[in-house]
Chains A and B, each alone.
Chain A
Amino acid sequence: MTSQTAKIELDKQTEVRLGGSLWRQAFRHFIRNRSAIAGMILIGFVVFMAGAAPLIAPYDPNLSMIGLPGHEGRLAGQAPCIHALGCPPEMAQHLMGLDLNGRDMFSRVVFGSRVSLVVGFASVFLSIIVGSLLGLVSGYSSFWTDNVIMRSMDVLLAFPSLILAIAIVTVLGPGLQNALIAIAIVNIPVYARLARAQVLSLREMDYVLAAQSLGDGNNRILFMHIMPNALTPLIVQGTLGIAGAVLEAAALSFIGLGAQPPTPEWGAILSEGRNYIFTSPHLVFFPGIAIMITVLGFNLVGDGLRDSLDPRLNKT
């Protein structure tokens, strides 16, 4: 056996022992991470709730129970009624009680998952697209373009995120769509910086030099060679970003700048019940728990992805 074939043989063995590609290793590392799996379960639960909302929710989220059978007396802010826990059978069952307009809280919370997930995913998607384009261009262009883009990003980062989002929505006008845009704009700098840092390190790589020597143009190098390799940290940051976006959307709706009534959005539901916290705490408790579960899920998965995709962390 020549030394060359011996080396190949050895490489194969090492590969088998390590379990194949980096991606496969990362996947193995990820599924061994218990908190990441817990996060996946939480996200799965919320996604299922959003997808099957019409099947899970017993009522239309905007339907008032006033005048329906099994609903008598004062319905506004009625406490949860669960038959298994001793609620009289002649009263209709409401797992999370009724809101101030006599609507079923459980149905509203279930449908709220749709709004939060859409805002979370869409705003992060927008920020990643715009942010990474700016970052890629910035990292691969001349001193001046780079400086103009990055200093603008510094200015956006100089504002506390909620304050900037508030300022943008104040200008655009309240509403869920504008809140989504504001959250996307606020988070652009994070992805721009990340993408730029990736480009700066990747453009010195041998395969980029090889592409250059083969005569590839700047655009081809940027989008075919650099971008696919710069995606990993963007995905990790994006997962954590969804958690942040869900929280920010809820906060904007809470102060009346996001989803408008009667949209069943968690922050808005919470805001409607806030003045009745001392008499009807269920109006606030359940939507808050829903926000927390969703955000916790994305945070845990984001952390898990970062740990398994960053080889430097794997060693420790």
Chain B
Amino acid sequence: MTTFILRRLALAIPVLIGILVVTFFLARLIPGEPCTAIYGERATPALCDAFYARYDLDKPILQQFTSYAARVMQGDLGDSIRYSVPVTNLLVERLPLTIELAFFALIFAVTFGVPLGIIAAYKRNSAADALTMLVANIGVSMPVFWLGLMLAFIFGVILKDTPFALPPSGRLPAGYQPIPFYVAWGLAPDTASATPLMIFISRMYTLNAILTLNVELFVNSLRHLILPAVAVGTISMSIIARMTRSSVLETLNQDYVRTARAKGLNERSVVFRHAVRNALLPVVTIIGLNFGVLISGAVLTETIFGLAGVGRTLYDGITARDYQLVQGFTVVIAASFVLINLGVDILYGYLDPRIRLS
């Protein structure tokens, strides 16, 4: 297992370096002088001199790259032009919401996708199978942003005065200020004296609510996340349902399933203990690969639901031509994508010995 992990790690390193190269050169490809490209009309000679000195832009290109790579490794992603704060601080503030959104979207996708796939496979060629696959096909064909807007309209307008109404925008009710767990626990008196990690954790409001045992905050923050999570998770749910269906179909035809039936096990045991358990292995990989889908979904959905997460910030960065922010966020998102896939690979190798021994 150790060799397997080391081998996978070694494969991930060139990709991570490649990400640095791509983001570095993308930033260099922006037309015009870097300083004016980044600061626009605000570029003054003094500001530009400071900018060139800070990012070593007066040095040879190779040295520029090594100093860029070194800065990124140390967590310095430059300063956002729009917000006038380090990009890293923005990430600490905004990433937690996107992680929460992706987490609940994934929960939604797995909770509905896996059972739908199992039912479709078990009742192959029945009406239930056809209906499930129709839903799955429509699910992957819908634009995330359209689904988000329609959900906001249905649950925020049509069902407004019914018990099914859900808030169509925002993270918490207006004026609601949650008490961070570090204040409740007496770890830090206020945000200014809290560590970035504390701020990061407290910004995941559902987790903060659990840590401070605040039921009201938990319910409120969860209600605000339901619509965006469903919008973001629908594509993943459809992919998972299709993958589970074909995977279960394949295992249902295996000899050991026939053996299990032949030795007189009841059907539930055959399906769940023998077929589904083995069929879910490839589904693990699909769940990992869906991180990209979830992040793309978050970029498109957060703007619709007025959520200040990574996606919304990236969107604002693009419209404001805040290149430092776009570059910084892109590096972090791509690196997390690689690391999550690495984690999934290792998990898969752990679950399926054939993979790590091949």
Contacts and interface: CB of A to CB of B under 8 A. Distances in A.
A, B from the same assembly: yes
A171 B30 CA distance: 5
Chain A residues touching B, majority SS: helix
Contacts of B330: 159, 163-164, 166-167
B337 A159 contact: yes
A24 B321 CA distance: 54
Contacts of B144: 251
A167 B157 contact: no
B291 interface: yes
Give 9 nearest A-B pairs by CB, closest first: A155-B18, A288-B146, A160-B292, A162-B296, A296-B141, A295-B141, A159-B334, A160-B295, A171-B29
A156 B156 CA distance: 39
B353 interface: no
B18 A152 contact: yes
B149 interface: yes
18 contacts: A156-B22, A158-B337, A159-B19, A159-B334, A161-B292, A161-B296, A163-B299, A163-B333, A167-B326, A247-B143, A255-B303, A277-B152, A278-B156, A288-B142, A288-B143, A288-B149, A300-B137, A316-B250
Contacts, number: 148
A267 B143 contact: yes
Contacts of A170: 26, 30, 318, 321, 323, 326
A104 B314 CA distance: 33
Given A167-B327, A168-B26, A281-B157, 11 more contacts: A161-B296, A162-B295, A167-B23, A170-B321, A171-B26, A254-B300, A255-B300, A255-B303, A270-B143, A299-B141, A300-B137
Contacts of B146: 270, 284, 287-288, 291-292
A237 B352 CA distance: 28
A155 B296 contact: no
A256 interface: yes
A173 B323 CA distance: 12
Interface string A292-305: 10011001100100
B18 A277 contact: no
Given A159-B330, A288-B146, A296 B18 contact: no
B217 to A, nearest CB: 27
B342 to A, nearest CB: 11
Contacts of A166: 299, 314, 318, 326, 330
A244 to B, nearest CB: 9
Given A155-B19, A171-B30, A296 B138 contact: yes
Given A251-B143, A278-B153, A316 B19 contact: no
B326 A281 contact: no
A316 B153 contact: no
Contacts of B68: none
B29 A255 contact: no
Contacts of B253: 316
A288 B150 contact: yes
A175 to B, nearest CB: 14
A83 interface: no
Contacts of B157: 278, 281
Contacts of A250: 143
Contacts of A303: 137
A170 B316 CA distance: 12
Given A162-B296, A168-B26, A296-B138, A254 B145 contact: yes
A284 B334 contact: no
A232 interface: no
B138 A292 contact: yes
A255 B300 CA distance: 8
A158 B26 contact: no
B143 A292 contact: yes
Interface in B22-51: 22-23, 26-27, 29-31
